[in-house]
Chain A
Amino acid sequence: MTPAARERLSITVPLLLITGAAWTILVVGPGTMAMPDGSSAATLATNLSTSRGMAVPDLCSAPTLSATSFSNSRHLRLAFSLLASFAASWMLMLTAMMMPVLIAPVRHIRDRSFTKRRARAIVLFLTGYAAIWIAAGVVLLTLAAAAPLIVSRLSVALAIATFVALVWQFSPAKQLCLNRCHARPELSAFGLAADLDAFRFGFMHGSSCVGSCWALMLLPLLVSRGHVAAMAVVAIWIFAERLDGPMPPRWRWRGLGKVVRIAVAQTRLRLQNS
């Protein structure tokens, strides 16, 4: 193994272990947290709006909140419980899906920080990264929750979202965001400046990541059955497209090409060696 490969492993192994743990919880965990019926945010919204007499947009969209909505303390408790549940679920979803694409930027943070500051810098990076994704999550979950209330059938909402995701997938704007995901900026080494740079790098990386992946991330939220499987497909897709290097933004298809080529080559290699 080369020295560089050894260094890569030092980050890859722990992050993949975390990823594995997150997927284990999603697959065999208790009721997948914010999605109590094991299904999507959109299904949950439908259930809530019909059986509990509460509109989910009221919970997820701040401008629509009103004092009367929470006059009942039971509703208030339920609202907080649901919000916490959504937040935890969203973080679990992010951990499972995004940790593999964070291997390279986390390595950058680790390599360019003092040994004694590495853990702290990585935590700050992840905090910045999660912050922007949490904000994006509010929007995406609200969209997913509102979808069945706007269109008559969830399948229609899913079809519209798939179309939007496909257009975005082809677009130059997507490439622009993907390119920014490969940026590895210089980082201050000392004191508050180092902390701020680590957080800023996480935030900027997260922003590019949201720009690149928002449309894909919406899809599993709209799938009523096989939600976790849909997440897995999207996660593989996101990981695969990140393997390609930056390229000039233009309309083009982006997908699994490189990951398939790697899989074929590496499989052939192992078969030859066996």
Chain B
Amino acid sequence: MTFTRTNVWALGSDWADAILWYARGVAAMKARALAEPTSWRFYGAIHGIDQPLWKLLGYLKSSDAMPSAANLSRFWKQCQHGSWYFLPWHRGYLLAFEANIRAEVLKLGGPNDWALPYWNYFKPNQFKLPPAFASADWPDGKGNNPLFVPQRYGPNSDGDVYVPVNQINLDAMTDSDFTGVGSGGDPGFGGVDTGFEHGGPTHGRLESQPHDMVHGLVGGGDPNNPNLPGLMSDPDTAGLDPIFWLHHGNIDRLWQVWRQSPPTDVDPTEPNWLKGPANIGERIFSMPMPDGKSWDYTPTEMTDLGKLGYTYDDLSPAVATPQPAARFQRLGMSAVAAEAMRGGPAVTIGKNVELVGANRGSLKIIGSEARTSVQLDSGVRRKVSRSLRAAAEAAAPERALPVAAPDRVFLNLENVRGLTDSTVFRVYVGLPDGANPADHPERLAGSIALFGVRKASLADGEHAGQGLTFALEITNIVDTLHLNNSLDVDALDVRILPARPVPETAQISIGRVSIFRQGR
């Protein structure tokens, strides 16, 4: 049997059968004690748990018996972030969770082909939280709807939960490399190979956008205590919110969509990815199943969704396939030459990553705006300009020689630290003096959610207090500056606009703002 995951907004009604059965399954898991491996809170803790935070939010009581030491070490705190295991681990997590819910659905007499719906907030008019999750009541008007959580505050932290579509994007889908680098260049669609380390400070592109953003926008922060996150905003509480699973259904779907463009968009073939973290001395991926056994899996086993018995109702391309020739043409290559490139010589993409410039001193984010200036090294900046000029002057491709791709450019926000994961902001580069950012969407480098920043800022935490690092591609902005003859400057201004004013108590800071080139 093939299970089909369906768009939650296409089910026909707010409380369509698939949602109603999901709610009943969630209620059954929630009824179990924390120590039971198939309980709701146990599954949340598989993603992450911070006991003081859980207590503060009312999800852990002193009377709760803890799971056995063996179960703790095998299952809890497994989530893979800042790593090229992000997608395969979450796919398995989703499959195992779904199997547990389905087991409950079957026990209650539900359909044996039940599958988890997904939430595609990118679809027109589907950006709002599905209504079944927003109501405290079951459809019959009785309270205690298990899909509702009070700690879900939304993008304005006012309880109105939706995903502002102008703050999310599908740029990651245009990245043909699954894995990249954590040194300032492209981190890749699926994340960075972190060697023998569990995870790094740099998230992959799909992980950053839309994954992290949707977490931060949906979860928001407690309006009465800005440092207290909504469940979805923090990796240590996210798995407790029933909407988490529909969000991850969409992320998983996007991976499947991305994989449909071979030969460029393919999963890694390196043994350390295929065989998973056990190959680098880390814990295996392992999930508790409804039959009481544990299910161990590797990324290899996650690559073929069909073999796993799953599909989605919509796997149409999320974005148009990027054409290398289009950028050459934008940079000045003749239309004839650009057209001849299609199906012509290969475009070689340079992999060297190099610092172009950086600001001076760390930047505190307080209130509704922060600004800094990235000083550019004139020599490296000229190198970027030369590569852009060379693209325009590229010879006719009938020579059949590979054509060198122009540099890609990335804005890095390094060592971002703070206490509130619900912080979300937009980053603009090279805005004219006095300009209103809203009037210049072409200068928007990207939007960032600090999902995981609290943990990453702990000196004795997994990231040793170095915080998170974000790499935003600003190639298009730099191309435009180059074409407008505005790239020959000593510095580029960077403006950071939080979605909500950031209180001083959040202690958000950016260690360094820098620009890197990636090319030959």
A contacts, CB < 8 Å to B: 1-8, 107, 111-116, 175-176, 179-190, 193, 243, 245-249, 257-259, 261-262, 265-266, 269, 273
Cβ-defined contact, B460 with A248, below 8 A: yes
Cβ-defined contact, B460 with A4, below 8 A: no
Cβ-defined contact, B462 with A262, below 8 A: no
Question: B180's contact among A3, A179, A185, A269, by CB below 8 Å, is which?
Answer: A3
Cβ-defined contact, B181 with A4, below 8 A: yes
Cβ-defined contact, A259 with B281, below 8 A: yes
In the complex, what residues of B have CB within 8 A of residue A113's CB?
A: 355
Q: Which of B35-43, B245-253, B374-382 contacts A (4 or more CB under 8 A)?
A: B374-382
State in angstroms the CA–CA spacing of A257 and B196 once bound together.
Answer: 13
Residue B454 CB within 8 A of the other chain? no
State in angstroms the CA–CA spacing of A273 and B380 once bound together.
Answer: 43
State in angstroms the CA–CA spacing of A180 and B183 once bound together.
Answer: 21
Cβ-defined contact, A185 with B415, below 8 A: yes
**What are 12 contact pairs spanning A and B, CB under 8 A?**
A3-B185, A4-B181, A4-B195, A182-B463, A182-B464, A186-B415, A186-B511, A245-B197, A245-B462, A246-B461, A248-B460, A261-B281
Residue B271 CB within 8 A of the other chain? yes
A159 to chain B, nearest CB (A): 32
The residues in B between 465 and 493 inclusive whose CB is less than 8 angstroms from any CB of A are 465-466
Interface string of B194-233 (1 = CB under 8 A from A): 1111100100000000000000000000000000000000
Cβ-defined contact, B460 with A247, below 8 A: yes
Question: A243's contact among B182, B185, B196, by CB below 8 Å, is which?
Answer: B196
A121 to chain B, nearest CB (A): 11
Residue B430 CB within 8 A of the other chain? no
Cβ-defined contact, B375 with A190, below 8 A: yes
Cβ-defined contact, A243 with B281, below 8 A: yes
Residue B11 CB within 8 A of the other chain? no
Residue B268 CB within 8 A of the other chain? yes
Chain A residue nearest to B352 (CB atoms) is A115
State in angstroms the CA–CA spacing of A265 and B281 once bound together.
Answer: 7
A2 to chain B, nearest CB (A): 4
Question: A3's contact among B181, B195, B465, by CB below 8 Å, is which?
Answer: B181
In the complex, what residues of A have CB within 8 A of residue B462's CB?
A: 245-246
Interface of A is mostly: helix
Residue B398 CB within 8 A of the other chain? no
Cβ-defined contact, B415 with A4, below 8 A: no
Chain B residue nearest to A246 (CB atoms) is B464
In the complex, what residues of B have CB within 8 A of residue A245's CB?
A: 197-198, 462
A184 to chain B, nearest CB (A): 5
Interface string of B122-146 (1 = CB under 8 A from A): 0000000000000000000000000
Chain A residue nearest to B187 (CB atoms) is A4
B186 to chain A, nearest CB (A): 8
Cβ-defined contact, A4 with B193, below 8 A: yes
Cβ-defined contact, B195 with A8, below 8 A: yes
The residues in B between 254 and 286 inclusive whose CB is less than 8 angstroms from any CB of A are 268, 270-271, 275, 278-282
Q: Which of B23-31, B58-66, B337-345, B357-365 contacts A (4 or more CB under 8 A)?
A: B357-365
Residue B7 CB within 8 A of the other chain? no
B281 to chain A, nearest CB (A): 4
Cβ-defined contact, A189 with B355, below 8 A: yes
Cβ-defined contact, A114 with B270, below 8 A: no
Chain A residue nearest to B185 (CB atoms) is A3
In the complex, what residues of B have CB within 8 A of residue A273's CB?
A: 271
Chain A residue nearest to B186 (CB atoms) is A3
Residue B192 CB within 8 A of the other chain? yes
The residues in B between 390 and 433 inclusive whose CB is less than 8 angstroms from any CB of A are 414-415
Question: B459's contact among A107, A179, A257, A266, by CB below 8 Å, is which?
Answer: A179
State in angstroms the CA–CA spacing of A175 and B464 once bound together.
Answer: 11
Cβ-defined contact, B360 with A188, below 8 A: yes
B507 to chain A, nearest CB (A): 15
Residue B94 CB within 8 A of the other chain? no
Cβ-defined contact, B460 with A249, below 8 A: yes
State in angstroms the CA–CA spacing of A228 and B179 once bound together.
Answer: 41
In the A-B complex, the 4 residue pairs with the closest CB atoms: A186-B511, A182-B464, A189-B358, A111-B183
In the complex, what residues of A have CB within 8 A of residue B179's CB?
A: 2-4
Interface string of B10-37 (1 = CB under 8 A from A): 0000000000000000000000000000
State in angstroms the CA–CA spacing of A81 and B304 once bound together.
Answer: 68
Given contacts A180-B459, A246-B462, contact A185 B511 (CB under 8 A): yes
Chain A residue nearest to B354 (CB atoms) is A115
State in angstroms the CA–CA spacing of A113 and B354 once bound together.
Answer: 8
State in angstroms the CA–CA spacing of A113 and B353 once bound together.
Answer: 11
Question: B355's contact among A3, A112, A183, A257, by CB below 8 Å, is which?
Answer: A112
State in angstroms the CA–CA spacing of A189 and B351 once bound together.
Answer: 22
Cβ-defined contact, A115 with B466, below 8 A: no
B89 to chain A, nearest CB (A): 16
Given contacts A111-B183, A186-B512, contact A179 B280 (CB under 8 A): no
In the complex, what residues of A have CB within 8 A of residue B188's CB?
A: 3
In the complex, what residues of B have CB within 8 A of residue A261's CB?
A: 278, 281
Q: A3-B177, A245-B197 are in contact. List 10 more A-B contacts (CB 8 A).
A: A1-B270, A4-B179, A111-B183, A175-B460, A176-B460, A182-B463, A183-B459, A184-B464, A249-B460, A265-B281
Cβ-defined contact, B464 with A4, below 8 A: no
Chain B residue nearest to A190 (CB atoms) is B375
Given contacts A2-B193, A114-B380, A186-B414, contact A179 B270 (CB under 8 A): no
In the complex, what residues of B have CB within 8 A of residue A7's CB?
A: 181, 183, 353
Residue B239 CB within 8 A of the other chain? no
Chain A residue nearest to B509 (CB atoms) is A186
Residue B184 CB within 8 A of the other chain? yes
Cβ-defined contact, A262 with B196, below 8 A: yes
State in angstroms the CA–CA spacing of A248 and B465 once bound together.
Answer: 12
In the complex, what residues of B have CB within 8 A of residue A184's CB?
A: 201, 415, 464, 466
Residue B514 CB within 8 A of the other chain? yes
Chain A residue nearest to B195 (CB atoms) is A8
In the complex, what residues of A have CB within 8 A of residue B459's CB?
A: 179-180, 183
Cβ-defined contact, A265 with B280, below 8 A: yes
Cβ-defined contact, A111 with B353, below 8 A: yes
Cβ-defined contact, A112 with B414, below 8 A: yes
A160 to chain B, nearest CB (A): 30
Cβ-defined contact, A4 with B182, below 8 A: yes
Cβ-defined contact, B512 with A183, below 8 A: no
In the complex, what residues of A have CB within 8 A of residue B280's CB?
A: 262, 265
State in angstroms the CA–CA spacing of A190 and B514 once bound together.
Answer: 12
